[in-house]
Structures are given as structure tokens and as C-alpha cells.
Amino acid sequence: MKRVILASTSPRRRDILRNTGINFDVVNPSYDESIQNKSFSYQIIENTAINKGLSVSKTANKYSVIISADTVVIYDNIILGKPKDYDDAIRMLKMLSGKTHKVVTAVCLIDNETGNKTVKSETSEVTFNELTPDMIKEYITAFKPYDKAGSYGIQELSEDFVKEIKGDYDNIVGLPLKLVISMLKEADLL
């Protein structure tokens, strides 16, 4: 089996991939992924996932497969990336309060031996309850979600925050595991 490399700085993605039992290494991608406040298209986030993977493939062993991903929160067709600061996190959570938004993760698989790239995306929906200013401030103070798209981590939210989830929960956390396994199998890498 080829060496598997997860091209990610996200501890959440590492935890999800560990659940597969696959042995893998982690290499931080060197790609600027700032796409916040742009109009959403699958091509934008899929290109980001590809470029993250390519930045790692340049220095990776020839006999490796690189998994990279990009997760974004979409509200009103605008990409909400990682918040710049406390005030930006408040702004985003106020925007999502009482509303339904989408969480999209693009996953890229690169076979470093052949150069073959596969990219697929998963979309889930999250509906928040009405959030009070105190709920928002307490969450940001406790969890400091500055490394999370949309200013939140679903796994940290109390049931007071979330009204409904449609779709893959792991996708909302940051790595749609079923999709990753399917892609690895399709590429005969699992």
C-alpha cells in the first residue's frame, strides 16, 4: 500500500481520518487559502483543495497518496471563511443565527506516482436556532473558533445552537469520511 499523507493543519481532520485505521502522515500544506467573502462556486473550493494537495506532493515520496481538503461555510451564496478576529467571529455567528447555511468540503486525492487527481465535494446543511448575543460571546470566548470556517466547530456547539443538521456530520466537522473512503477505494488505494 502507498504511503498516505494528509495535507492539513486541522486536528479535526486528523481525528476523523484516524477512525479509518489507515496509517498516515500529516504534512502542512503551503498554500494560501483565503477565499473568504467571495461568491461560492464548487470550482473555487475544489481548486483550493487541489492546490493544497499539490503543495505537499512536490516534496512527498513518489509512492504516496495525498489527501487534501477545503471546508467552507456558505450563507446567501457567500463563502464565510475563518474569522479574522473576535468581532469578525461575532459578525458571522450573528449572520447565521436562526438561519440555514451550507457546509461544503472539497476533497482531493493525488496519486503521487501517476499524478492522477480526483476531486469530489460533499454538501451538508446546518440550521441554527436564534442565538442570543450572550450565547455567541460565551461560545467565542470558550472555544476561540478563529481556525474554523464560519466561526464555529459543530462538535463544540451545544444543542441550544443547532436546530437541525441535514447530511454528513463529518463533512461539517471538516472531512467527509465516507466520501474519502469511497475515493480511496475507487482509486484502488484502499
Statement: residue 98 has pLDDT above 80: yes
Per-residue model confidence (pLDDT) at position 16: 94
Query: Around Cβ 155, how many Cβ atoms within 10 Å?
Result: 13
Per-residue model confidence (pLDDT) at position 92: 96
Per-residue model confidence (pLDDT) at position 33: 67
pLDDT class for 62, splitting at 50, 70, 90?
very high
Sign of CA dihedral 80, 138, 161, 12: positive
Active site residue 70: yes
Q: Output 35 or 158, whichever has higher pLDDT.
A: 158
**Which residue stretches of 19-132 are H helix?**
42-57, 86-96
Question: Among the options 15, 25, 32, 70, which is catalytic?
Answer: 70
Backbone angles phi, psi at 147, to 5 degrees: -105, 20
What is the per-residue pLDDT across 109-140, written as a single tens digit (0 to 9) for each? 999 999 999 999 999 999 999 999 999 999 99
What is the per-residue pLDDT across 153-190, written as a single tens digit (0 to 9) for each? 999 998 899 999 999 999 999 999 999 999 988 887 77
Contacts of 86 (CB under 8 A, 6+ apart): 140
